[in-house]
Each structure stands twice: as structure tokens, then as C-alpha cells.
């Protein structure tokens, strides 16, 4: 603990779960006045949920929030704001089509009987912007300003005279270096006024630049809280993605005498401007290639480029030595490539459809819509998949939305496998599922690989990669920075490669 007098805000035993996922598990945190506290963690670690709870946008299941030593009940964003907890949410924070002054005046009292006094609203807006030394035309729509200016507008809107804690969720995600520097100048000034600042980001450099304290979350649990001066980059990365696990090291040993099959997919100079720098990648039969890197390093982008879900603007792909004329999801499916996306709710599964119907989707797409798969065939296939992957369900007609996270992930896999792919791309196959299902999925990956399939597995869990992969591709800042083979695959080696400058 930092031990620097009384905290401004203290969170005690915060619990929050969503259907199928525990988002926050007994989290205890405190934020000190006049210090910048960075919150780190991969996607789904619980950062966003935590600040939504703190700012009243989400109700917690249990736990307590203390503000300056007083127990408070944060029921809404408006209530939080009145107490002095100001939050600037990621991306969604202003109404782009409305003018700056209208955004500033929204949900504020400046005028009687529900009327708005635009004279007062304008003065208020100008005053607020002045605090951040922002001199802009307040009548122009917010959307016509750069993202950096929008971010500053959102901050000045959130800051009240009584603001004691300011929460910034990924404020620098879309800023360039110069814009970030000016934002940091503002943060430092607010900090010197005694405001506690909570700063969420996935840029490690920025954490070391600006923060005083660092807390790391993983899978809804608080891993650690330290002062930044006691930490090295390597410590932070280890705590974010590495985890001591004997079992993992053990599996790595088994792979030492591995020999890969023939090249199945060869990407040459594949890339897209501003998304991912051109890279070479080879996937071989009977081999699992792991994709390691921090959040935002380009893991997902690489998988999507290979599949064609993101259109590449450079490079080419050869499958079995034949060059693909154009890379698109449909062409990839026909060529025997299957893809399981990271966000299974948004991209992978349709919750209202049954297990059988979800499994059929990709298979039907591969066959073309005219050749229908008979109901009998469908049922047979679904039953086989449920048995093969040990999906816990009474029957194949249960809507996927009612399954647990781990079983949903298995349905995603089943769906990909139903089209009998030769190359399988998995993005975060174990996201948001419990430990038991975790091990099952990894065992499944190894089994598929033994059957001669070529796999590419992107994961934020280093141990998962160490356990599953025969070869690891390491990513940093939207570049492929290297590959690690066979025996060399250890947690420490990967972390070192990511941390090396």
C-alpha cells in the first residue's frame, strides 16, 4: 500500500457479475489525493466495469465505496458527479452533433423552471474551457473538432469546483504524441490541485510517464497495487499476462521433439496501413502457432487480416502453395480456414439461436445457401459435436445465450470445426471462462493439432500460449517483433521480448 495519509476514495470488497462472467471479484482499491493512479489489465480484466461502478453507471452486486472516509451510495452518474466523482468515459462521452455549449449545458441546472439560460450556459462553458486553457468556438458541433479537443472538452465538462477524483478511461487511445503531451500537462496541473486521478490505459510508456501508483487487474481480480518507482516494465507485463503455473512449463517440455508438417498457409508482407505493419507468417500442418503481445499490440488485427475480416492493403497469402487472388472471409472459408472471433457475443454467436442452428451457420455458408443441409444431418452433426467437445447441455436445441461462457466458447469452436477446416484461427479462445473449461479448451487445441490441423491462437494469457503453442509470434505496437521456437518458449523469454526496447 502507498501509505500516504487518508485516501480520497476507497473501494472495499467490490463484487459485480454478469450472466456467465464474474467481472469484479472482491476488489479492494484506494485512490490518494494529488496522485495519478493507473489501472492496468487486458480486455475483460474488469477495468471498465470497475470505473462504471465507481461512477454510478453500473450498480455493484455488493461492496462499499468510501469518499473521504464517508460511506457513500453512488446511484447514478449524476449522483456521483454531485459528490465530486467525475468520469470521462472511453469514446462515448459527448454528443457529436450538438454544439460545445449545448454539450456543456446538458443535464445541468442553469435557469429556472426547466428553461436554459443560454447566456449563463455560454459563460459557464467558456469558464470551464478556460480552466484547461482551451480557446475554441463553443457554437460549433463537438464532432467537428479533433478527438484530442473532444477529449479535453469532455474533461472540462466533467470537472466541477468540488471534483475530488477524476476518472479517465483510455483518454489517450486515439491521440497522437503531441496531443497526449498536452493532455498530460492538464493532468499534472489537476494533480497539483489535489485531485485524485484514475487513469486507465493500455500504453505502458504512458503509465511510466505520468502515474504515481499502479494497480493491475486480471480476470476481475486485483493482482497488485504498487508505487510506480518500485516497478520495472517487466514486472508490470508479468503481472498483466504472466502467471506462475507448473503445469504450463510441463506441457512446454513435451513439445521439445516436435517436427512440423508441410506449410499450409504462407502470408508474405501482409499488412494494412495504420492497422498492422506488414508481416510474414507461416502456418504448418500439425503445429500450433501462438500469438503473444499486450492489449493493442495487434494480435486480433493479425488474425483478422489472415482471415480477411480486415481487408489487407499490402502483401499476399498462399494456401498449399497457391496464391489467393483476394482475401475475404467467404474465400477463406472455402479454402478451409475457420475463424473464432474474440468477442463471441458480438461477432461469433447468435444467442437466440440453438446450439444446432449456430453450428450450422458456417457450414451452410461454406456449402452455399442453395444446397441445404437436411435436418437429420444437422441433428447428427450437432450431437457429434456436443459429445466430442463435451458441451454441457441437455440437448442440441438449447439457445446458446443460456449456456455458460465456457460452453458458449465450445459452441464457437464446434461451429468452426463443423465446416471441417484445415486451418483454424482462434482469437482469445479462453476469454471469460472458468479455469476448468480453460484446461479443456487447451487440451482440445492440442488434440486438433495432433490430427494435422494448422492452428493460430491469439491470447492475452501467456501461460495459455506457453502451454499450447509450438511456435510463438510476438507482437508489439502493431508490429511483429519476432518468433520463438520449441524449447525457447517460456514466459520469461516472451516477456523479455515484449519489454525489450
Partner 1 sequence: MNQKYWPLLATITVFIALFVIGGSMYNNFLSTLVLGHILADNAFIIIAAIGTTFVILSGGIDLSVGSMIAFVGVVMAVLDSAGWHPLVTIAMMLAFGFLFGAFQGFIIDYCKIQPFIMTLAGLFILRGGCFMVTLDSVPIKHPFVKMMASTRVPLPGGGFLTTGAMVMLASLVIAIIIAHYTRFGSNVYAIGGDRESARLMGVPTRKTTVLTYATGGIYAALAGVVYALYTSSGYPLAATGAELNAIAAVVLGGTLLTGGVGLVAGTLFGGMILGLISTLIIFHGSLNSAWIMISSGILLFVFIVMHRFLIGSFGRQKLS
Q: What does the binding site for partner 1 look like in residue numbers (CB under 8 A)?
A: 57, 76-78, 81, 87, 89, 92-99, 102-103, 105-107, 111, 114-116, 118, 139-141, 143-147, 150, 157, 174, 273-275
Question: Are the C-beta atoms of 311 and 332 separated by less than 8 Å?
Answer: no
- CA angle, 430 as apex, 424 and 311 as ends, to 5°? 45
**What's the rounded Cα separation, in Å, for the pair 475 and 246?**
25
* Beta partners for residue 199, in sequence order: 38, 168
Task: Judge whether 212 and 36 are in contact, CB under 8 Å.
Answer: yes
Coil, strand or helix: which one is 244? coil
Residue 346, Cβ neighbours under 10 Å: how many? 8
- CB nearer to partner 1: give 202 or 218: 202
Q: Tell me phi and psi for residue 160, to 5 degrees.
A: -110, 170
Residue 126 beta carbon to partner 1: minimum distance, rounded to whole angstroms: 18
Nearer to partner 1, 277 or 361 (CB): 277
**Shortest reach from residue 145's CB to partner 1, in Å:** 8
**Complex with partner 1: residue 165 or 252, whichever CB lies closer:** 165
- For 34, left (φ over 0), alpha (ψ -120 to 50), or beta? left
Q: Are strands 196-200 and 165-169 parallel, antiparallel or unpaired?
A: parallel
Distance CA 222, CA 218 (A): 6
Ordered alpha helix ranges (H), 159-212? 177-192, 204-210
Residue 47 beta carbon to partner 1: minimum distance, rounded to whole angstroms:
16
**Which DSSP symbol is given to 174?**
T
By beta-carbon proximity to partner 1, the closer residue of 140 and 447 is 140
- CB closer to partner 1, 227 vs 275: 275
Strand, coil or helix: what is 320? coil
Distance between CA atoms of residues 59 and 73, nearest Å: 10
Task: State in angstroms the smallest separation of the CB of 81 from partner 1.
Answer: 6
* Choice between 146 and 193, CB closer to partner 1: 146
Measured between alpha carbons, how far is 473 from 483 in angstroms, rounded to an integer?
Answer: 5
Q: Which of 19, 23, 73 is nearest to 48 (CA)?
A: 23
Q: Are 142 and 153 in contact (CB under 8 A)?
A: yes
CA–CA distance, 71 with 450 (Å, rounded to integer): 56
Task: Count Cα atoms within 13 angstroms, Cβ side, for 297.
Answer: 23
The minimum distance between CB 422 and partner 1, in angstroms, equals 33
- Give the residue with the Cβ less far from partner 1, 62 or 76: 76
Beta carbon of residue 125, minimum distance to partner 1 (angstroms, whole number): 13
**Residue 82 C-beta: closest distance to partner 1, Å:** 9
Task: Give least dist CB 190 to partner 1, A.
Answer: 20
Report the C-alpha gap between 402 and 353 in whole angstroms.
10
Nearest-approach distance from CB 392 to partner 1, in angstroms: 30
* Sole residue written with cell 485524485: 196
3-state SS track over 334-382: HCCEEEECCCHHHHHCCCCCEHHHHHHHHHHHHHCCCCCCCHHHHHHHH
Smallest distance, Å, CB 27 to partner 1?
21
- Closer residue to partner 1, CB minimum distance, 71 or 97: 97
Nearer to partner 1 by Cβ, of 274 and 387: the residue is 274
The least distance separating partner 1 from the CB of residue 368, rounded to whole angstroms, comes to: 33
Q: Which is nearer to partner 1, 4 or 98 (CB)?
A: 98
Nearer to partner 1, 38 or 101 (CB): 101
Amino acid at each position: 500500500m502507498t501509505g500516504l495519509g487518508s485516501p480520497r476514495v476507497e473501494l472495499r470488497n467490490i463484487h459485480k457479475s454478469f450472466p456467465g462472467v464474474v467481472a469484479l471479484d472482491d476488489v479492494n482499491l484506494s485512490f490518494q489525493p494529488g496522485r495519478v493512479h493507473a489501472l492496468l489489465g487486458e480486455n475483460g480484466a474488469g477495468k471498465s466495469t470497475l470505473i462504471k461502478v465507481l461512477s454510478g453507471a453500473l450498480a455493484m452486486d455488493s461492496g462499499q465505496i468510501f469518499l473521504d472516509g464517508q460511506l457513500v451510495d453512488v446511484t447514478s452518474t449524476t449522483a456521483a458527479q454531485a459528490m465530486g466523482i467525475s468520469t470521462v468515459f472511453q469514446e462515448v462521452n459527448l454528443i457529436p452533433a450538438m454544439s460545445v455549449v449545448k454539450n456543456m449545458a446538458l443535464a445541468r441546472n442553469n435557469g429556472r423552471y426547466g428553461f436554459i439560460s443560454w447566456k449563463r450556459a455560454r459563460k459557464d462553458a467558456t469558464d470551464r474551457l478556460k480552466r484547461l486553457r482551451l480557446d475554441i468556438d463553443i457554437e460549433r458541433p463537438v464532432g467537428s473538432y479533433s478527438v484530442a479537443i473532444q477529449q479535453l472538452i469532455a474533461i472540462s465538462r466533467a470537472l466541477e469546483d468540488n471534483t475530488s477524483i477524476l476518472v479517465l478511461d483510455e483518454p489517450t487511445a486515439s491521440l497522437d504524441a503531441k496531443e497526449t503531451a498536452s493532455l498530460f500537462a492538464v493532468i499534472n496541473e489537476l494533480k497539483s490541485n489535489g485531485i485524485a486521478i484514475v487513469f486507465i490505459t493500455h500504453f505502458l510508456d504512458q503509465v511510466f510517464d505520468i502515474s504515481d501508483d499502479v494497480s493491475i487487474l486480471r480476470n476481475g481480480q486485483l493482482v497488485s497495487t504498487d508505487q510506480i518507482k518500485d516497478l520495472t516494465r517487466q514486472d508490470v507485463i508479468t503481472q498483466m499476462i504472466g502467471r506462475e503455473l507448473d503445469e504450463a512449463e510441463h506441457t512446454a517440455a513435451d513439445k521439445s521433439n516436435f517436427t512440423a508438417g508441410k506449410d499450409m498457409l504462407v502470408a508474405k508482407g501482409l499488412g494494412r496501413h495504420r492497422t498492422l505493419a506488414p508481416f510474414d507468417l507461416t502456418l504448418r500442418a500439425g503445429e500450433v502457432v501462438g500469438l503473444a503481445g499486450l492489449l493493442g499490440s495487434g494480435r486480433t488485427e493479425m488474425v483478422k487480416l489472415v482471415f480477411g475480416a480486415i481487408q489487407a492493403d499490402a502483401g499476399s497469402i498462399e494456401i498449399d502453395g497457391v496464391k489467393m487472388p483476394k482475401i475475404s472471409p467467404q474465400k477463406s472459408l472455402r479454402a478451409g480456414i475457420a475463424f473464432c472471433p474474440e468477442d463471441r457475443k458480438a461477432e461469433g454467436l447468435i444467442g437466440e439461436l440453438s446450439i444446432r442452428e449456430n453450428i450450422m451457420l458456417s457450414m451452410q455458408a461454406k456449402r452455399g445457401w442453395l444446397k441445404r443441409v437436411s435436418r437429420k444431418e444437422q441433428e447428427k452433426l450437432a450431437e457429434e459435436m456436443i459429445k466430442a467437445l463435451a458441451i454441457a447441455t441437455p440437448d442440441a436445441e438449447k439457445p446458446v445465450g443460456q449456456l455458460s461462457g465456457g460452453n458458449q466458447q465450445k459452441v464457437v469452436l464446434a461451429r468452426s470445426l463443423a465446416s471441417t477446416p484445415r486451418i483454424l484461427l482462434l482469437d482469445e479462445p479462453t476469454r471469460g471462462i472458468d479455469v476448468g473449461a480453460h484446461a479443456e479448451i487447451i487440451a482440445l487445441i492440442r488434440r486438433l493439432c495432433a490430427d494435422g490441423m494448422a492452428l493460430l491462437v491469439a491470447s492475452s494469457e501467456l501461460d495459455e500460449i506457453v502451454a499450447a503453442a509450438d511456435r510463438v509470434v510476438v507482437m508489439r505496437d502493431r508490429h511483429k517483433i519476432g518468433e520463438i521456437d520449441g524449447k525457447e518458449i517460456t514466459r520469461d523469454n516472451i516477456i523479455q521480448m515484449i519489454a525489450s526496447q
